[in-house]
Structures are given as C-alpha cells and as structure tokens.
Chain A
Amino acid sequence: MQQEVVLAMLAKEPAHGYQLRARLRQALGPVGEALNDGQIYVTLARLEKTGLLSAEQAAGQGDRSDRKVYSLTAAGQQRVADWLAEVSWPRPDLTEFHLKLVAAAAAGLADPLAIVDSQRRELLRRLRDAQRAAMAEPDGSEAGLLLEGMVLRLQADLRWLEACEQQWTGRRARS
C-alpha cells in the first residue's frame, strides 16, 4: 500500500488513528478487511519521521498511537496534491486509484472527474501503442497474442474508468 494513501485520508481534516482506519475501511469495504492495523501505524510513524505529518498526543492518553491526532504538515499537503495529479498505470493498482478519487472528493482537493480524465488519456495512449503494434503483427504471430492481452486489459481498465466517471458524475450532481 502506498504511503500516500494514508496521507490522503488526512487531507480533509486531522484524525485520530482509529478514525483514519475507519475512513479507509469505509472507502474499501470488504477489500479493506485485509488491512493490517499494525501496518497502518508503522506507516504513520514513518510519515511522522519524514515530516509529512505531525502527531499530537491527546491529553492523558499515554503513548497510544490510537489516541494521537494526526494532521498533515505543509509538506504532507503538497505530497498529497502531487499524488492526486500523478498518473501512473504501469502496474494497474485499482485500489490506489479508487482511494485517490475518494480522497480528492472528500478533501475537495481535486475534481475526481479530472483525475478520471487524465487517467483515461494515459490509458488511451497505451492502448494506441498496443493496438498499433497488434495491427502490424501478421496473423498467428506469438507477439500478437501478447499484444492482444495488453489491449484487452487496457480495455477493461478503460471500461472501469467509465464506471468511475458515471458514479462520480452522479455524486457531483446530487451534492
């Protein structure tokens, strides 16, 4: 899991450790059940050390990371903004992209639809490359089969982006 995902959950407002976990769980549903609490706290500690977030101990709570209030530093805000704007798809990480949309909308940092659009541009560039290459291959070529796999995968990703677009368009219309 990307560290930025944890940071992004704090973009809307500071939160206790347990609130942050709840936000992730809500965004991920059953997919988030595999999330390990310890892993989250290790990530939080690391992010604190690198100065991307600051943690404040609530009075009289001891050193329990659960009870700390985490908030983004200026550097952390910037990192989240960069992460939202970044388009990466060499490894299709659906979860990360999904959380990007959730965090962008919750914090009002970016328009989820704009993120969908730039992602689509990137995927279409790749599809264009794969397809051109596939069309140039003679029938029955081995490489052609690999290229067809790439094309099909990109098509599936693009179809999912269409679903993202519809969902977030609907939410914007309702809000």
Chain B
Amino acid sequence: MRKTGEPVDDTRDSLMLRTRGLRKDYGRDAGLVRAVDHVDLDVFAGETVAIMGPSGCGKSTLLHLLGGLDRPSAGELWLAGQRIDGMSERGLAALRRDLVGFVFQAFHLMDELTAVENVELPLLLAGRAARPARRRAADLLDQVGLADRARHLPSQLSGGQRQRVAIARALANEPLVVLADEPTGNLDSAATLDVLRLLDDLHQHGQTIVVVTHDSRIAATADRLISMRDGAFVDDTRLTGGTGSLLGSMAGLADLEG
C-alpha cells in the first residue's frame, strides 16, 4: 500500500514484459551453449527498448523467448502480468496472434497474398469478420504510407515497402508489444529512414516496442539501450537526449565563441 504523499511510481503498475532468471540452452554436456543466460528484464508500457550486441550474443533468441516463439530452458516470463513460460502450445499460439506483433528482418510476408491480404490475415485468424478486417487492414496500410499499394503482391514491392507492410501486419490486432528483429537489416538507407520514422511514430503513440538490432540509427530512437554479450546483459542505459542540446557541440559551433 502506498502512503499518501509518497511519490507515485506510475511505471510499476504498467510492467509489460518481465523476466527473471530467463535462460535458454542449446546442446548438452560439452556442447552446451547458454544462448540466454539468467536474464532479468523489465519493460514498461510505452517504452522502446533496443537490444544490441555482437552476432551470436543471444539477442534474437531472447526476442523469440519474449514473444513465445520459443520456450525458455529455465526462468520466469510474464507478459502484461500473465505468466507465460509454462503456457500450453495452444495458449502460446493465441498469445502470439493476439498480444504480440512480430517484425522480422526477412519480412516473412505471404508471397501469394496481396499487401492488404497479408495485413488482414491476423485479423481473420483472430475471428474478425471479413469486412471490418479489410477496412482495418486498409487503414493500417494507409498509416504506413502504402494505401496505393494495397493490391500489390510482395514481389511487386521494394524492400522498404515490404517491411512497412510487415509492420502494418504486426499492428493488426493492436498488440501489447511489438517485437522487431533487425527490422532494417535488409534495407538501404532511404528505406531505413522510412522504417525509422514509422517506429518512432509508434513510439510517440505509446506503443511498447522491443527491438533487436545492429543498426545504431534504430537504437538511437529507443528510450533504453541494453548491451548483450554471451547471453547476458552487460549494460542497460536510459538514453536521454533528443532535445537538440548536443547539436551545437557536434557542429563545432562552440569554437566560434573563442
């Protein structure tokens, strides 16, 4: 119970993801690899958290655990207050469909479906009627700037456009959290900027996002940066800034005074 007059910690009530001692092992005995090694993570609602680290540090594995794509070897995992590490396969499938939005490096769109059909698929799977599903899918495509590409097949779209379709699809069921694995890994710099703007926009609208990335531009849009090495967190920092206060020093304008 809170005493009156005590500062209120809003974030405590809005823990979106929480892990304690989360672990994932591959192989056994001498060949044992601890891909994720006792990770404790708290992600609060509305936060964008970037996880960076060298290839093979376990960051993608961690993301898969967080989204219920893979099961931990040990440890505890909560999504929005619900314990999910011991959930049935069926429960996990529903959770992935309804509560989590995934964005992958390789887009993972269905090649034989048009953009709008890709976006409406998770809505139909969640039991929405065809007409409202189509309407929502069209709105989402509009939101990512692809209203005029709705009837195109993925093969008729550029990489950046495909990723934007994938992001629209990830948002279809209004997920509690969006999990993105190297979302700009296959994109050129102009397309990266589009995805960046989109993620930043989602962030401004309060979407909780966890993104695993090599791309420092993505990491720089996050509230928090976690560095991972050998399956464990080695650094967890809040990134302040974004106020423009550092621009003068970068431009070397400070020297004009002297």
Contacts and interface: CB of A to CB of B under 8 A. Distances in A.
Given A125-B240, A169-B54, A131 B250 contact: no
A136 to B, nearest CB: 9
Contacts of A46: none
Contacts of B251: 146, 150
Given A124-B225, A127-B216, A113 B234 contact: yes
Interface size class of A (residues with CB under 8 A): 20 to 34
A163 B1 CA distance: 49
B95 to A, nearest CB: 32
6 contacts: A124-B225, A131-B221, A135-B200, A155-B217, A165-B54, A169-B54
Contacts of B242: 128-129, 132
A135 B217 contact: no
Interface string A139-172: 0000000110011001100110010011001000
Interface of B: 54, 193, 196-197, 200, 214, 216-217, 219-221, 225, 227, 229, 234-235, 237, 239-247, 249-252, 254
Given A90-B249, A124-B225, A146-B251, A159 B239 contact: no
A126 interface: yes
A120 B216 CA distance: 10
Contacts of A151: 217
Contacts of A127: 216-217, 220
Contact of A166 (B54, B200, B227): B54
Interface in A13-65: none
